């Protein structure tokens, strides 16, 4: 387990390139199971979650070349089991995306409870709902066990919530199912669109991605495909917040303006000065002001993944800001640690927090409990006076590649202490 030692109060300046979208990499890797042919993905983020998904594919019998690099070649000529490695499944929420391809290829799927952030509070009801609508049936026993001995068939699916991974599960299952599938109340996020385009390159007929209704005509046999992942807009938003918190000027390359608009709209309302040219976002030193309310919403609303960082930003904004994340519980609890840094916070309930600023943050020891709040606490430590310790680093490395190296390149003073255990 690694601990970061951060000396705060240093201005960060320079240029940084975002990696490929983590939330697209995982479903695209799962899609590679649908074909015997080789698939090649480039601009892949070198993060722990992607490595875990690659190891899961290997545990099923796939050949994966390039693990730990930005280009992966995946070939699933022969799947040897319908049960992914239980220990790896327990580390990765995205492992649920394997259910559809396993049912398509083997007619059976056995999955231990998926891990990741807050696993006890994040169910896979939407995923199972979609799969049973396409002919899969529950098998009595522990964990998640589904059979489709006669194969999957197209169906009419209404998702009770616009779940991103639920929509992706439905797309993956429908890709080679017999007949047409209609998915209603589908998620519209850019990574859902990216998965649909990858499946289309694999020979699947798809229409309506990016809207609440998606129609899929299953392919009799999916073929290999190649795709360069789009830039990660959440990562771009992260670097923008880090730049503003430290009073710096940072140019961020690789993300699309259309993906960044929901984030930039909120940051702009808080006084963040930014400009966009081609594929480069420039963030400049800014005078921040509180805003009455920031509320998360499904795409194209403000993403829940930016809530933790925006809460830290609000500690440096003049006035009061109410942040309301109705989509997820528990995400805000980890941010109570900011109070120990001299932030003025009032946690109303698991979904709402009121932040009053500006307050000068002071360094302290911080606990990185989940991916997004962990990165937010690193940002707070960079903005604070004095030294902070943030641990474990591994939580943040699930979704941010080479975070220490890249922060140092911008001027941050960070050391790493490797601990046993």
Residue 120's pLDDT is 41
> Three-class SS of residue 387?
strand
Contact yes or no for 47/71 (Cβ under 8 A): no
Contact yes or no for 270/317 (Cβ under 8 A): yes
* Sequence spans of domains, the chain: 2-19+231-418, 22-228
Contacts of 369 (CB under 8 A, 6+ apart): 334, 395
117 belongs to the catalytic site? yes
Of 63, 124, 134, 137, residue with least CA distance to 97:
124
Contact yes or no for 368/390 (Cβ under 8 A): yes
Backbone angles phi, psi at 121, to 5 degrees: -100, 0
Residue 279's pLDDT is 86
What is the model's pTM? Answer: 0.96
Contact yes or no for 41/227 (Cβ under 8 A): yes
Of 260, 188, 313, residue with least CA distance to 18:
260
Contact yes or no for 381/12 (Cβ under 8 A): no
Residue 125's pLDDT is 83
Do 2-19+231-418 and 22-228 agree at the fold level?
Answer: yes
Contact yes or no for 163/189 (Cβ under 8 A): no
Report the C-alpha gap between 235 and 306 in whole angstroms.
9
Backbone angles phi, psi at 319, to 5 degrees: 110, -170
**C-alpha dist (Å) from residue 241 to 141, 363, 378:** 46, 18, 11
- Is residue 217 exposed (0-12), middle (13-18) or buried (19+ Cβ within 10 Å)? middle
Contact yes or no for 167/191 (Cβ under 8 A): no
Q: What is the DSSP letter of 362?
A: B
Active-site position among 19, 49, 117, 325: 117
Residue 421's pLDDT is 45
User: pLDDT by residue for the chain (421 residues), tens digit each?
Assistant: 899 999 999 999 999 999 999 999 999 999 999 999 999 999 999 999 999 999 999 999 999 999 999 999 999 999 999 999 999 999 999 999 999 999 999 999 999 989 865 534 557 888 998 999 999 998 876 678 999 989 999 999 999 999 999 999 999 999 999 999 999 999 999 999 999 999 999 999 999 999 999 999 999 999 999 999 999 999 999 999 999 999 999 999 999 999 999 999 999 999 999 999 988 999 999 999 999 999 999 999 999 999 999 999 999 999 999 999 998 877 899 999 999 999 999 999 999 999 999 999 999 999 999 999 999 999 999 999 999 999 999 999 999 999 999 999 999 999 999 875 4
- CATH superfamily for domain 22-228: Enolpyruvate transferase domain (3.65.10.10)
Residue 379's pLDDT is 98
Among 3.30.230.10, 3.65.10.10, 3.40.50.300, 3.80.10.10, name the CATH number for the domain at 2-19+231-418: 3.65.10.10
Instruction: Please count the residues of the chain.
Output: 421
């Amino acid at each position: 387990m690694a601990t970061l030692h951060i000396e705060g109060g240093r201005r960060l300046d320079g240029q940084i390139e975002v990696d490929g979208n983590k939330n697209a990499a995982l479903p695209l890797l799962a899609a590679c199971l649908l074909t015997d042919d080789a698939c090649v993905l480039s601009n892949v983020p070198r993060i722990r979650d992607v490595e875990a998904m690659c190891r899961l594919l290997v545990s099923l019998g796939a050949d994966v070349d390039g693990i730990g690099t930005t280009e992966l070649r995946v070939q699933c000529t022969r799947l040897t089991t319908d049960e992914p490695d239980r220990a790896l499944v327990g580390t990765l929420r995205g492992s649920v995306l394997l259910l559809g391809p396993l049912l398509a290829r083997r007619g059976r799927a056995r999955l231990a409870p998926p891990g990741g952030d807050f696993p006890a509070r994040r169910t896979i009801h939407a995923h199972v709902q979609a799969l049973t609508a396409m002919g899969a049936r529950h098998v009595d026993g522990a964990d998640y066990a589904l059979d489709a001995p006669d194969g999957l068939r197209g169906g009419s699916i209404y998702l009770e919530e616009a779940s991103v991974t639920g929509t992706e599960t439905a797309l993956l299952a429908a890709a080679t199912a017999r007949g047409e599938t209609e998915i209603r109340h589908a998620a519209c996020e850019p990574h859902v669109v990216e998965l649909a385009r990858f499946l289309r390159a694999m020979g699947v007929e798809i229409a309506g991605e990016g809207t609440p209704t998606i129609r899929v005509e299953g392919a009799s046999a999916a073929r290999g495909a190649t795709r360069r992942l789009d830039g990660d807009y959440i990562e771009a938003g992260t670097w923008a917040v880090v730049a503003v918190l430290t009073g710096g000027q940072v140019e961020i390359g690789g993300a699309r303006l259309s993906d960044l608009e929901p984030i930039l709209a909120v940051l702009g309302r808080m006084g963040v000065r930014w400009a966009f040219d081609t594929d480069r976002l420039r963030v400049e030193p800014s005078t921040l002001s509180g805003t009455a309310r920031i509320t998360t919403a499904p795409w194209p609303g403000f993403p829940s993944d930016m809530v933790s960082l925006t809460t830290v930003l609000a500690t440096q904004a003049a006035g009061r800001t109410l942040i309301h994340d109705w989509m997820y519980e528990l995400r805000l609890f980890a941010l109570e640690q900011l109070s120990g840094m001299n932030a003025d916070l009032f946690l109303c309930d698991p979904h709402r927090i009121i932040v009053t600023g500006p307050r000068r943050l002071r360094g302290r020891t911080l606990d990185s409990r989940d991916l997004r709040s962990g990165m937010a606490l690193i940002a707070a430590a960079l903005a604070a006076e004095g030294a902070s310790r943030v641990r474990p680093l591994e939580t943040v490395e699930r979704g941010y590649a080479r975070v220490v190296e890249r922060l140092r390149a911008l001027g941050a003073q960070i050391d790493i202490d490797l601990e046993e255990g």
